[in-house]
Structure 1
Amino acid sequence: MERKKYQDTRTTKGPYKPPFNKQDADKNKSRRPLDQKKQLEYSYRVNDRIRVSSVRLVGDNIEKPGVYPIDVALRMGDDMDLDLVEVSPNSDPPVCKLIDFQKFIYQQRKKQKEIKARTAKVVMKEIRFSPHTDDHDYNFKLKHAENFLKEGAKVKAYVFFKGRTIMHKDQGEELLSRLVKDLEEYGKVEKNPELEGKRMIIYFASKGVKK
């Protein structure tokens, strides 16, 4: 079975840096940049692009994980119809796995998209209390916090101490402890209460969008 070929863009010691050529540089200006899939593919050394004498093989499909000569590791990949992929180039020897490289790239891109989507959608909402917030005002703001968390937003709740009310920090702590208990179904504490200047702040992360 013929081993899959992947273009070599790296050396064993890092990114490949060709000698500068002005003519080539001018030509490259008109070329389209590599798409994300190609960039991700080129960030890994695969099969014949792995130019070392031995590698450390790991993975569930390796009966005896350990150090193997590169030719033996490549032959094992051929026998299993899998690619030899370098996953930890800075180790000595480099750590490799025998996997389906295209499937691996697909999964990596999927993870990147999921992380990007979560990061882009996260919104921070603020809820302000005072040490003397009454039950009616508290419940009104609690409802807002619940809705924010159900929508997937984060919540920054804080008790603002105005003037001499800073002497009643214990009341602020009690209020935020009550809030933690009341929001338990919708959010988890991301950062415990901390006093920053005149504000005692706590952060909540959503447990997931709820309809």
Structure 2
Amino acid sequence: MATDRLKINNEIRAVELRVISADGSNLGVLSLEAAFAAAKTAGLDLIEISPSAVPPIAKIIDYGKFEYERSKKEKAVKAKVKVSETKEVQIKVGTGDHDMDLKAKKAAEWLTEGHRVRAELFLKGRYKGMSEEFLKERLEKFLVRIPYAYKVAEPIARSPKGFAGVIERDLVAQAKREKESLGKLGTGNKTQNENKQIIYKTNTSNA
């Protein structure tokens, strides 16, 4: 059910209302008594759907049907709203290139969906004693593999399990990257066409 309950029938206190009929027609501004009469004639309820308007707006409709449709619309809106989360991806010093690329691709998917990504370099045993500069560089090399533009939300720093940093998508940079990619594609097609023309002219000259 909808959370904000609207006034219905005898609960309405406005002296006059702008009334909308059950079929959506605008009946104009009516006195409260006339609006009640119209609703009663239709065998329906009178619901004050916009109390802050001047005059308030009311609709003639079955209250149960109105609440059902209202609740349905609210659920549809909530379903479209994606909740942003912080996803986590973990690598190790010995993680190979193939696995790195797979994890980077997954991170890109999360960024595309609007999530933040926390990338962590997990350390254990002797790796904990390695150079901090080397370890940070290892994590940075993973981040640059991610095929989606991002910006740093939290710089790489020590974490309970090793080193970690948080990134989030950069829509402006991504749009620029995609535009440049399309430009290169267009240039490539143009070059191919020019090459075809050169080959054609050469063959024609030799004929």
> TM-score, normalising length from structure 1?
0.46
Higher-helix-fraction structure:
2
Higher Cα Rg, which structure:
2
